Structure 1
Amino acid sequence: MSLAPTFKNRGLLLLLLCLAVVWFGNLQYRKLVRPDEGRYAEIPREMAVTGNWITPRLDGLKYFEKPPLQYWATAAAYRVFGQHQWSARLWGGLTGFLGILLIYFTGRKLFGPDAGFYAALVLGSSLLYVLIGHINTLDMGVTFFMSLSLAGFLLAQRDGAHPRETARWMYTAWAATALAVLSKGLIGIVLPGAALVIYTLIHRDWALWKRLRLGGGLLLFFAIAAPWFVAVSLRNPDFFHFFFVYQHFDRFLTKDLHRYHPWWYFVPILVTGVLPWLVQTADGLLHGWEKGNGRRFYPKRFLLVWAVSIYVFFSISDSKLPSYILPIFPAFALLMGERLTRVSGKTLFWQTAPMALLAAAALALSPFVIRLASPEVPLPLYEKYRVWLIIAAVLWLSGVLTTLALSYRGKIKPALIVLAATGLVCGQLVITGHDSLSPASSSYAIAQQVKPYLKPGAPFYSVGMYPQTLPFYIKRTVTLVAYRGELAFGVKHEPHKWLPTALDFETAWRRAPYALAIMQPNTYKQFKQEGLPMIKIAQDTRRIVVKTP
């Protein structure tokens, strides 16, 4: 009996353990930063405290911009583990980690063991995937469920699949699509549907639709996705128009949300986001239209259609953020995983060589990050972050050089493991080191100064601003003054929960026996000039907190 499989399995388990330690090890280290991390930590906190799992609230106001699946998961984590930075980030970190395992499994089933292994290496070390997996936002959750939908579809339609297997995987795809909709809205079904339609039109494979299990699949989809939408609409008649019309169609077609960027906005994000696999990505895409061994269904072509259609969809949208294209990365990884099984050591050498130049450039430019310093983010903070970036650049260059040496000698698998490990660790260093800037990007420090002054029932005003991360750290909401921003919908429907003008604030402040307020330095200066009595109790580079005398 050969011991090779045993050693191979032990090696995979060791790599999985190392991945888990590196992946989850820094979830608690960094302070929550504005705006997304504060928002998506606070909504579940209020949900867990109030016990209202139907109507999401931010700062005590109705907040219907996104569906609740991640809120539910995070609120449940708070109930089980407590309210911490790591439990706030757990859902994104966990779905990112599971996404790597999913791509390994899918690649293994579709293209063979090595292809699955290489696909997992690529996905788990691509810079954008690593970064978003450690930031508390909704994009990793929706990416995981869209990937599960994609995987279920590919495994159901592959040549040789047994009818029962086809049914099982298609129902998995339908369930995952419903969870994607509950994660971030209609894109969870619109984007997979668009890829399916485009693939069908290209190949004129109308029989494909007969294998989708449409009847049972739609029933399963609505059984999972519909109950919350029905419940929240019954409790909040204003939900439907705001969520489905404004948050979807207006967001896509207008510039109202001030996220407009030119059509090429995602090009540098994609180029940077796939590092350290830039050349391998191009190679995988160039060979993505190959039919391979498919006779009835061509998984590589569908992966290419999936990636391109999602990229084009967001490129023509009038609302763009870097994380929007994250769902294309698992498809990229599968294409690259399959392609890497067919490259030679010398080919891998030349594909990796440009990374040495980029790593050297990163090392040369890292010290100059201090030039980004400003009054809001002062020089000492960037000096601390510079150290992290230099270490990451040195490691990146060392890893690339090691990969080049291994690939030149034909040791492809060790070379790919080294390159992937380097990419993952460097990405973690970049995101972990960002905590050096937290005094300017998070409310954690000022919250620690404020906590001794908090009193039950005492009003806490937020004048002309909403500090996204402050409520999570002080475990309470604030009263908005002369500011609505993304809370405009909630303010409109519950106007008694805010103060519209600075004059209203001054009146309330003078009448309050005890109150706190947070504001920007210019606002504080203006109130002092007007003679409003207040005592400064906390300050950072962006905000000042005062109390009544």
Structure 2
Amino acid sequence: MPFPLDPLDYLTRSHESRRRDLLLLTVLFGLLFLQLLGHFPLIDPDEARYAEIPREMLERGDLVTPLLNYVKYFEKPVLLYWLNAISFYLFGISEFSARLVCALSGLGTVLFSYHLGRELFGRRTGLLAALILGGCTGFLIQARINITDIPLTFTMTVALGSYILAARDAQQPRAGYYYLFYVFAALAVLAKGLIGIVLPGAVIFWHIVLTRRWRILKEMRLIPGGLLFLAVAAPWFVLVCQRNPEFFQFFFIHEHFERFLTKVHRRYQPFWYFIPILFGFMIPWSFFIPSALRNFWRNRAATGGEARLYLALWAIIIFAFFSKSNSKLPAYILPVYPALAILIGTLFDRAFNGDFRPMRRPALAFGWLLTLMGCAALLYPLVAHRPLVGPVGGLVIGSILILQGAVGLAAVKREDARQLFCGLLAGSILLFLTAPHIVFPLFVERKSYREPGEIVKKLAGPDAVLASQGLRQGLGYYAERRCVIFDGPGEIEFGSKIGDQSAWFLNRDRFRALWNGPKPVYAMILRGYLAELSASSAVRPRILWQSSKHYLVTNR
């Protein structure tokens, strides 16, 4: 049977081959997730950090103890390091191979969301959910960045989804999905620590309490499942603790309890911080979150009500957990996106069946707001003192937002759910394809060290010293050598205190002595430090590269 030529007709069918759906979704989002993946250099600190650690693992032949700038670094578990090391081994060290694992994790999350939505609510809802999640500009952009939150989102999505697929039929629980839950919960722990089991455990606990299905505790195969969980998650933790006695206190106490309860990482944000983050990163689908949650509550007693309850618990509990935490970054709430995408998918499914009422208000709101935002984007480069984007960038982004808003308003007038959905999806994908090329160069100029790293790699001999005023992960990654750090160790302070690291962590006086010594020195310094270094140096620094914040200088 040939592939369908009418996307709208294909989208609105209730029954269609699962294999065909998965193939079409893989082709569509595979192109989006993988296109130009290596086009931009790695951004400091996160992307470069999670590339440098596996690079050093391969160089040393040690896949147990993570090192960053060749000192112990225990802030995260090992899953992303291993996967990136495999990618480097297969495809070579590059930006593409550094981001490939996260891009595939994002694609896997979209495909499993389709499977979960289809199993719970039918083929059309599953397809809508996958298109909503994959067509979410914020999710697409973040899934193409080399960060631990993307593998965590994939593994946690499979774990949480597997549980409800196992438990949804009270008469015939599906044991295979329970075991899949334990495997992926263990992988989630290896991706980012104890939240990989704590958060799924909290969602499952409240699902059992609110549905009063205590029998699930017997159905879950807790003993064999627990053993399977430990068989996957425990070996690396045991090995790394054996080789590094200091690991347990730092990782489990400092990185989990102190990080959650205190402001030790200096990432404190107010409780409401993630509300605008969720709204902005899921736009325009975020306008439908309140209606989707109301729809879940009003239809809690209808067919599929327990599944909607579970998805709502999934989103609310994880969102509340990270909102309560004293350490916040935008990517932390990525695991809530799949649950919300499926709930929004059920809302659109109802609209496709003729019930447009829940869509009217959010569609009007986003239509007018996106139109206003588009006008603001057009004017911004013309009125701002130092605009972050130029007139062309403002014109492109503004035009897309205005067009998306206009399509939404027209769809409301006609009460056409298909037009509304397709307009939102097309606008979101178009925004994803254009906005990074306008905005990302700003981050490259400020937070990428590919060019100076490659200069050092080309010019520096084996006896030369690479130094950095503060830790710059990308500098060592691109230069493929260790950096001497002066003016503070930054996030590798813990590792700097293990063993004798005195030759690698210097104050300014000792750095000046190194600079004035016999060895060639290549140093990344802040722009404000150049005059001081010049005044105290026997050899005037020679500038090899500069940015708005830094100079790369040498004493040769």
Task: Decide which of 54, 69, 83 is 2:93's aligned counterpart.
Answer: 83
Task: Summarize the Cα distance change of 1:50–1:371 in structure 2 as closer, same or farther, 3 Å threshold.
Answer: farther
How far is 1:215 from its partner? 0.9
Task: Summarize the Cα distance change of 1:118–1:292 in structure 2 as closer, same or farther, 3 Å threshold.
Answer: farther
Alignment of 1:329 with 2:340, yes or no, is: no
Cα deviation, 1:267-289, whole Å, max 9, x if unaligned, reads 11122122111332111111223
Q: Does the 8 Å CA contact 1:178/1:224 hold for their aligned counterparts?
A: yes
Counterpart for residue 189 of structure 2: 181
Q: Which amino acid aligns with 2:226?
A: L
Task: Summarize the Cα distance change of 1:322–1:79 in structure 2 as closer, same or farther, 3 Å threshold.
Answer: same
CA distance in 1, matches of 2:208, 2:177: 19
Q: Does the 8 Å CA contact 1:68/1:182 hold for their aligned counterparts?
A: yes
How far is 1:109 from its partner? 0.6
Alignment of 1:427 with 2:432, yes or no, is: yes
Counterpart for residue 543 of structure 1: 550
TM-score for both structures, normalised by structure 2: 0.90
Q: Which amino acid aligns with 1:76?
A: I
How far is 1:49 from its partner? 1.9
Cα deviation, 1:150-199, whole Å, max 9, x if unaligned, reads 11001101126744xx1100000110000000000011001111112222
Task: Decide which of 132, 153, 167 is 1:143's aligned counterpart.
Answer: 153
Q: 2:200 is paired with a residue of what secondary structure?
A: helix
How far is 1:22 from its partner? 2.1
Counterpart for residue 358 of structure 1: 369
Q: Which amino acid aligns with 1:359?
A: L
Q: Does the 8 Å CA contact 2:543/2:553 hold for their aligned counterparts?
A: yes
Cα deviation, 1:271-314, whole Å, max 9, x if unaligned, reads 2122111332111111223335559x811111111211111111
Structure scoring higher RCO (CA < 8 A, sep ≥ 6) equals: 1
**Worse-superposed segment, 254-263 or 13-22:** 13-22
Q: Does the 8 Å CA contact 1:56/1:62 hold for their aligned counterparts?
A: yes
Alignment of 1:267 with 2:275, yes or no, is: yes
Q: Does the 8 Å CA contact 2:26/2:111 hold for their aligned counterparts?
A: no
CA distance in 1, matches of 2:144, 2:405: 24
How far is 1:349 from its partner? 5.2
How far is 1:493 from its partner? 0.5
Counterpart for residue 13 of structure 2: none
Write the mapping of 1:301-450 to structure 2, written as runs, cut at 5 A. Answer: 301-343=309-351, 344=354, 346-347=356-357, 348=359, 350-367=361-378, 382-384=388-390, 387-405=392-410, 409=414, 411-413=416-418, 415-437=420-442, 438-450=444-456
Write the mapping of 1:485-500 to structure 2, written as runs, cut at 5 A. Answer: 485-494=490-499, 495-500=501-506
Q: Which amino acid aligns with 1:516?
A: Y
How far is 1:327 from its partner? 0.8
Structure 2 gaps, min length 5: 11-16
How far is 1:200 from its partner? 2.6
Counterpart for residue 482 of structure 1: 487
Counterpart for residue 233 of structure 2: 225
Percent identity, aligned pairs only? Answer: 34
CA distance in 2, matches of 1:524, 1:141: 41
Task: Summarize the Cα distance change of 1:390–1:87 in structure 2 as closer, same or farther, 3 Å threshold.
Answer: farther
**Worse-superposed segment, 357-366 or 411-420:** 411-420
Counterpart for residue 135 of structure 2: 125
Structure 1 gaps, min length 5: none
Q: Which amino acid aligns with 1:49?
A: E
Cα deviation, 1:400-425, whole Å, max 9, x if unaligned, reads 43355456556534542331232133
Q: Does the 8 Å CA contact 2:381/2:394 hold for their aligned counterparts?
A: no
Question: Aligned residue pairs: how many?
Answer: 539
Q: Which amino acid aligns with 2:521?
A: A
Task: Summarize the Cα distance change of 1:528–1:161 in structure 2 as closer, same or farther, 3 Å threshold.
Answer: farther
Q: 1:32 is paired with a residue of what secondary structure?
A: coil
Aligned alpha-carbon RMSD (Å)? 2.7
How far is 1:491 from its partner? 0.2
Cα deviation, 1:59-111, whole Å, max 9, x if unaligned, reads 11111000010111111111111111121111111111110110001100110
Task: Summarize the Cα distance change of 1:252–1:473 in structure 2 as closer, same or farther, 3 Å threshold.
Answer: same
CA distance in 2, matches of 1:456, 1:252: 43
Cα deviation, 1:200-259, whole Å, max 9, x if unaligned, reads 333332212112111111011000000000000111000000000000000001111111
Counterpart for residue 164 of structure 2: 154
Task: Summarize the Cα distance change of 1:173–1:373 in structure 2 as closer, same or farther, 3 Å threshold.
Answer: farther
